[in-house]
Structure 1
Amino acid sequence: MNSLPPPNSPAPVSENIWRRKYRFGSETGVEETWERVAKAVAAAEPVDQDVWASRFHELLSDYRFLPGGRILANAGTERNATLLNCFVMGRLDDSIDGLFDALKESAITLQAGGGIGLDFSPVRPAGAAAVRTGNIASGPVSFMHLWDAMCETMTADRARRGAMMAVLRCDHPDIETFIDAKIQTGALSRFNLSVLVTDKFIRAVDADSDWPLVIEGQVIRVLKARTLWMKILRSAFDTGEPGILFIDRINQENNLGYTESIHASNPCGEVPLPPYGACDLGSLNLTHFVRQPLTPDATFDFNEVANAARLGVRFLDNVLDVSHYPLDVQAQQAHESRRIGLGITGLADALIMLGLAYDSNDGREFTARVLGTMRNAAYEASVELADEKGSFPLFEKDAFLDRPFTRRLPEELRRAIRKKGIRNSHLMAVAPTGSISLLAGNVSAGIEPVFASNVSRRMRRSDGGYDVVDIEDFACRFWRETGGEGLPPAFVTAGGLSPEAHLAMQATAQDFIDNAISKTINANADIAFETFANVYRRAYDLGLKGCTVYRQGSRGEDVLTTVTEGAKCMSDTC
């Protein structure tokens, strides 16, 4: 048990996912994919492109660093497809011309392979009169159905479904209709939904005070804040949606809060973005850095994590320059801020391999140390890149260093930024990493706990249908193949953890993340509603930027099914 399984002989699911999603042309193995991607990303370097291609290839070839899926699928292919996983679209103009222009922009972006986020709050509520025509507005949810149908049409023949996030402010007059929009099975199936929750609304809930619903400053009607809050929670309990984005906190913590306002996020919530902003994502596979795993002498190589983080920052920064952008305004926004999102995957498996419980102070302290090491290395690398290639164009030294997140950086880093500038406005994000974690041998995804030791997973085919594939957790497979009996001692499943344990890990991670975190708090089907409801308020108190709780079985047929002897339970963790 002194080393990981050979990197070139991963689990069968790795070959499966590579063939379905990332193989290009006549590539005969994943090594050829690494070579293609490394060479394409190194093309952004002004000198020594071969040297950087070799370094990037080494970073990729043992599954140490896993770029976002669009990078793996499209880099070096000469396809007219983006390398960026997701975008937030521009602010919607409440007019027929404006809305259908936005629909067209969304279609172009989805066609190029990007998921999208949209804030429907500017759209007038149903029943409002149109000033110029006298027609009666149909409301934001009716337009969401147009986007949903468009997305289905644009992506019906792909192995990767089109992903969209719709958000609506908690004070919009149609907020109740929005909350109920997915109660009917199959409705708006291409959308995730989140409510933009403000600090003022939380205070009104606490005070049980009235809550005005407004549009353009005009109060349309008033209801009790607590009544609306409970409606949000009841829908989430019954259907798994909507999630919640604490939008004031997102803007307060934004490194670019001095020059932009955020109203939406990408489809999984880990990157809140301004209009036309983009996600440029990659994750370090933490299982790779465990030495002597599943033994009493197991250790973690923090120096190597720092080295990988530094090189990962350069890789992702280059992606911004070699990517195709569906819209010119998206390219402009990406190049002005140079946002990237370096994250992690395999956290839960790394904890198991180190003998640390996910729900323990030791487990959370380890996570904090890993992410603190990565944050510092990432910011150091971005400072050095700025010295070499220049700071991002929107950088204003004093304003940037006066933001809440940058004020919490180590003083040595702050001095370096003040002296040399910084290449990227944001550097850290924790994505869900569903497919790339499968590519790495089914390591645990993102910061999520392991769902189960063995699962049956629905995997989408290019014709839109699904295959069901049985897969084994990476750490459990390693334990079994090296002579372990039963399950590893520190093994725990998502369903075996309390909601508080999920929240505690997310809160630990958020301290080190300047973007945000994609995290689903899995709850058992029989959880009491009162317990479920308390999770959202606790998330706010812990300083999180958003919260999604999924109660097992609340969405009907799901992606993952636990493989047991005679019993099955389901949860959606993609």
Structure 2
Amino acid sequence: MAQDTTPNAALSNLQVMKRNGDLVACDPSKISVAMSKAFIAVEGDSAQNSSRIHELVQSFTQNIIETFQRRMPAGGVIHIEDIQDQVELVLMRSGEQKVARAYVLYRDKHSRRRAAQEKGITNPHPSINVTHLDGSKLPLDLGRIDTIVSEACEGLEEVDKKLIIDDTLKNLYDGVPVDGVSTALMMAARTLVEKEPNYTYVTARLLMDNLRREALSFLNVAPEATHKEMMELYPKALVAYVAKGIELEQLNPALAEFDLEALGAAIEHENDKNFSYLGLQTLYDRYFLHCDDVRYELPQVMFMRVAMGLSLNEAKPTERAIEFYKLLSSFDYMASTPTLFNSGTRRPQLSSCYLTHVPDDLEGIYGAIKDNALLSKWAGGLGNDWTQVRALGSYIKGTNGKSQGVVPFLKVVNDTAVAVNQGGKRKGAVCAYLESWHLDVEEFLDLRKNTGDDRRRTHDMNTANWVPDLLMKRVFEDKEWTLFSPSDTPDLHDLYGKAFEARYEEYERMADAGEVRLFKRIKAKDLWRKMLSMLFETGHPWITFKDPCNLRSPQQHAGVVHSSNLCTEITLNTNEDEIAVCNLGSVNLAQHVTDSGELDVDKIRNTVTTAVRMLDNVIDINYYAVPQARNSNLKHRPVGMGIMGFQDALYKAKTAYASDAAVMFADRSMEVISYFAIKASSDLADERGRYESYEGSLWSQGILPIDSLDNLIEARGAQFIEVDTSSTLNWDELRTLVRKQGMRNSNVMAIAPTATISNICGVSQSIEPTYQNLYVKSNLSGEFTVVNPYMVRDLKERGLWDEVMVNDLKYYDGSVQPIDRIPDDLKALYANAFEVEPKWLVDAASRRQKWIDQAQSLNLYISGVNGKKLDITYRMAWFRGLKTTYYLRAMGASSVEKSTVDRGTHNAVSSGSAPTTTAPVAAPVAPAAAPTPAPAAVAKDDFELSGAAAEVPQACSIDNPDCEACQ
């Protein structure tokens, strides 16, 4: 019987070798199907029913089969690629070039798909290739993009996966770098943040894909990974990371002695989902360890590294590291920036703040400047006490000459801070303090001016007034004030309260009698006016109060508080032998408020107890750049636990910042934190021993911070102070416990600015009110759209969140007050910092201050600034018993009408800087209240400030990336 050669019959004498090596019988029908698809691709579905095309396909197939039969008449093996080559050739020879092209594209598509599948790419893009780190090019994996974006959107409401993917693909090109794919994904998501705050979490999770690729590749753990895969890869990454960090001489070799398997198992990969984009980008840019600019540290690994570093001296280090890790990675508490930078490294400088004393001799002065440089190198913020240095014109016995005063030395300090930045990670930062009776104080006030002799200006450092109560009393009483050189009045520097007043008045009598020749008499109000005027014009010097810092200090028996620190929250003793050191960390108050708006007291107890232990560990593990710092820190063991997320906590409690309820919340929350912080330190004393200088302290006398208010009231006089002394907890029980067990730490609490760590945790800074509800935040990591998620949630619930609302918020610089359709209760709740009268900031701070053994970084926001308003605000701060104030954030009284801009289409978000002008806003949420004392004196003191109101020089532009205090 003749051999069957029809195209549709299998040919038993010919076999086809598939690409995987398998042999199958040659089936001509499969050749026909492939060519038919090529015709359909060119001519459409009508080709399926075309007899002409059917006949062509049959003829071409027969031609191809006959070709192979001629080549192999006895049969044989044909490779699949050879068959496809023949199909292309037949189509081209027959003149079907378009069909041949379709077949070639079809063949290439499947070739790419096979090649991609061999590399694990499940759904390759038909035309876009990605250039990987090793230079290879592979098809863009649409399947992986879908997985990554799906993971990024998981659990988040009102985010659109498809929108992100579609926008991303529009911005990709053939040969795009692998990092460029991640960047395109992030850009697609971050542009949507202003419309839906949850996109900030989507963007952060997309950024994590880049971070994982970079770190895991460097550690040879995996080329890349999805979020879900990190459950298994994080433990492996931790082991590889510790080994690599030790090899690179960046990590402490002692970390290898931990039970890394147990620590790896404790890592919560799901916590990676808690980052906002700003928080994660900040970690990447400034915190992660790196080698040759490659970050090989991942977020949970970083938190574990910090926890391990803080557990080195524990009896059970692995167990404690897990406890510390859980607290940090949950964002319930966050260590300070130096601790995050350096814990677990070979040079663990973990402390945040250093306070130094500058003596009145050349060797001592330049020794103090050298100490500044050494401390700044390892990321320490500095506060220098310069009061003891003699004034301009003072006699120099050794040379029979006259002193040039303090200012020329401060110029050297300024330039040292610029030259020695904080390990290359952030600008060096120092604040010089001078008491307000110093003869150089008037020139000191001018240091930050942009006019005058530049050799006597310090444009890069901070300055602060150290104001005695006696000056404030004389301001209220409209009396004269005398300026002295400390070379003539050396003991004033170490005196405070009634002792200072008595000795100061004695020096004034001596000056009247000619026994002190170098002095100057001025009206107290004139000096006060200039202090406020310079604060308004230049943002410096800040106003801090000497007497409350000393009269309420637990360590009065051991020395004198001569200054505060860089951010005005630390109040520790200093002398020539002791540089005060403080170790900071902050409780995330927003994480300790229940859904019903109540404080979670049990959670606060647990968080604070662990946090105080972590802070105490810092003291023993810490690297000390100078011996005076080590001496002081080991002797007194001060720590400063603070809070952040206060505004977020108020939002969760549905409480407006400008309200009595917010003041009560500030009081209650700080009382609970203070109670458990003191108890935790006392329990540590029972476990580890009391601090060395405990005996004689207020603690040893059973006097707690709330009790030390009596010292201030008695010394100042009741007519010059108004403070609340109420309490709700059983403080008698705690006093008894402290007398019995003692204290592990001389000081326990201080509220720092938390500018960067609050970004990491995605909450409001420290005790700050909301800056704006929609704005662009600028810092060292770039620019980030920030929108108030609580406001968006409430507006959505009332059906008010739409494109028009977004544009209105842009138009009004993030303010809800001028937008008519927003209800009054939401206007009160979401009033921004400049719409909350400073009275509320001061009142809330006063309630917190009564529970704190140190101080708090209190920024004051004042709109429509004039001399009278500044005068009232700062007198009120003193009258309410505050120890310190920090930056003045001022906004001009005049406004600019945006008449050329259509409200419905305006798209420019205001800059991150505090504006010098502002659009009209509604009336303030609450009226300003003058301080209770001497209202008549305040009312007639309506002085004018220099500078036009419409061009207000800013104290410190909000989130200025060059401003250390904002980092």
TM-score normalised over the length of structure 2: 0.55
Corresponding residue for residue 628 of structure 2: 329
2:283 paired residue number? 18
What pairs with 1:353-432 in structure 2 (closer than 5 Å)?
353-396=652-695, 399-402=698-701, 403=703, 405=705, 407=707, 410-432=731-753
1:510 aligns with 849
- Of residues 251, 265, 269, the one that matches 2:550 is 251
Tell me how far 1:99 sits from its aligned partner. 1.1
Deviations 1:290-331 (A, max 9, x none): 333xxxx44432210121011100010011111111112101
Residue of structure 2 in register with 1:101 after alignment = 367
Work out whether 1:291 is the aligned partner of 2:594.
Answer: yes
Determine the C-alpha separation between the residues in 2 that align with 1:60 and 1:344. 14
Q: Does 1:527 align with 2:830?
A: no
Name the structure 2 match of 1:74: 342
CA distance in 2, matches of 1:565, 1:399: 48
Return closer, same or farther for 1:100/1:545 CA change in 2, 3 Å cut-off. Answer: same
After superposition, residues 76-475 of structure 1 pair within 5 angstroms as 76-78=344-346, 80=347, 82-89=349-356, 91-155=357-421, 158-184=424-450, 187-215=457-485, 216-217=488-489, 218=516, 219-275=518-574, 276-292=579-595, 297-396=596-695, 399-402=698-701, 403=703, 405=705, 407=707, 410-441=731-762, 443-460=763-780, 467-473=782-788, 475=790
The farther-off stretch of 267-276 and 384-393 is 267-276
Contact 1:86 1:115 in 2 (8 A): yes
Q: Deviations over 1:533-559 (max 9, x none)?
A: 1111111110110224524368xx996
- Determine the C-alpha separation between the residues in 1 that align with 2:794 and 2:588: 18
SS in 2 for 1:425: coil
Indicate the residue corresponding to 1:36 in structure 2: 305
CA contact (8 A) 1:339 1:424 kept: yes
The CA deviation at 1:368 is: 1.5
Tell me, in whole angstroms, the C-alpha distance in 1 between the residues paired with 2:560 and 2:591.
Answer: 38
Residues 189 and 16 of structure 1: CA distance in aligned 2, closer, same or farther (over 3 Å): farther
For 1:513, the aligned partner's letter is: I
- How far has the Cα of 1:566 moved from its partner? 8.8
CA distance in structure 2 between the aligned counterparts of 1:211 and 1:522, rounded to whole angstroms: 29
The residue aligned with 1:464 is none
Secondary structure of 1:117's match? strand
- 1:279 is displaced (CA, Å) by 1.7
Q: SS of the counterpart of 1:272?
A: coil
From 518, 539, 544, the equivalent of 2:882 is: 544
Residue 48 of structure 1, aligned match among 292, 299, 316 = 316
Mapped partners of 1:363, 1:205: distance in 2: 31
SS in 1 for 2:558: coil
C-alpha spacing 1:438/1:560, structure 2 compared with 1 (3 Å): farther
Which string of whole-angstrom CA distances, capped at 9 and with x for unpartnered residues, describes residues 157-214 of structure 1?
A: 8341111111111110110000111121795233221111111112222232221111
CA distance in 1, matches of 2:573, 2:297: 40
Distance 1:565 1:190 in 2: 27
Does structure 1 conserve the Cα–Cα contact (< 8 Å) formed by 2:681 and 2:745? yes
Offset of 1:397 from its aligned partner? 5.8
Contact 1:2–1:291 (Cα < 8 Å) also in 2: no
The structure-2 alpha-carbon separation of the partners of 1:265 and 1:549, relative to structure 1 and needing over 3 Å to count, comes to: closer
Percent of aligned positions with the same letter in both sequences? 27
Kept in 1, the 8 Å contact 2:534–2:541? The answer is yes
Name the CA distance, whole Å, in 2 between partners of 1:179 and 1:561: 23
Say which SS state the counterpart of residue 500 (structure 1) adopts.
Answer: helix
Q: Which runs of 5+ in 2 are unaligned?
A: 1-154, 158-197, 202-269, 490-515, 709-729, 802-815, 817-824, 893-909, 922-951, 960-965
- Of stretches 112-121 and 386-395 in structure 1, the one that deviates more from structure 2 is 112-121
Gaps of 5+ in 1: 462-466
In structure 1, the residue matched to 2:205 is: none
Q: Match for 1:182: what amino acid?
A: R
Higher relative contact order, chain-length normalized (CA < 8 Å, sep 6+): 1
Structure whose CA Rg is larger: 2
Kept in 2: contact 1:210–1:225 (CA 8 A)? yes
Q: Which digits, 9 at most, give the CA deviation of each residue in 1:339-360, with x for residues without a partner?
A: 1111110001110122011121
1:35-93: CA deviations, max 9, x gaps? 00001101121x11111111001111111101111001110121x3511111011x222
Indicate conservation of the 8 Å contact 1:71/1:83, yes or no: yes
Q: Which amino acid aligns with 2:556?
A: G
Distance 1:470 1:159 in 2: 24
1:429-467 deviation per Cα after TM superposition (whole angstroms, max 9, x unaligned): 1110000011112x1111110111223233236xxxxx3
Q: Can you list the C-alpha shifts for 1:473-493, whole angstroms capped at 9, x where unaligned?
A: 464577689998548932221
> Does structure 1 conserve the Cα–Cα contact (< 8 Å) formed by 2:698 and 2:704?
no
Looking at structure 1, the residues matched to 914 and 638 of structure 2 have their Cα atoms a distance apart, in angstroms, of 36
After superposition, what is the alpha-carbon deviation per residue over 1:251-286, rounded to whole angstroms, capped at 9, x for unaligned? 000000111101011100001122211121111111
Matched-pair contact (CA < 8 Å) for 1:277–1:330: yes
**Secondary structure of the equivalent of 2:667?**
helix
- 2:699·2:739 contact (CA, 8 Å) conserved in 1? no
Contact 1:7 1:63 in 2 (8 A): no
C-alpha separation in 2, matches of 1:397 and 1:195: 30
Query: Does the aligned pair in 2 maintain the 1:67–1:282 contact within 8 Å?
Result: yes
Letter aligned with residue 272 of structure 2: N
Please report how far the alpha carbon of residue 94 of structure 1 lies from its aligned counterpart in structure 2 after TM superposition. 1.8
Residue 472 to residue 279, structure 1, CA distance change in 2 (3 Å): farther
1:481-511 C-alpha deviation (Å, 9 max, x unpaired): 9998548932221111111111111111111
CA separation in 2, counterparts of 1:126 and 1:56? 52
Alpha-carbon offset, residue 332 of structure 1: 1.4
Going from structure 1 to structure 2, the CA distance change for 1:328 and 1:260 (only over 3 Å counts) comes to same
Letter in 1 for 2:772: A
TM-score normalized by the length of structure 1: 0.90
Q: What SS class does the counterpart of residue 283 from structure 1 fall into?
A: strand
Judge conservation of contact 2:694–2:746 (CA < 8 Å) in 1: yes
Change in 2 beyond 3 A, CA 1:485/1:160: farther
* Aligned-residue offset at 1:514: 0.8
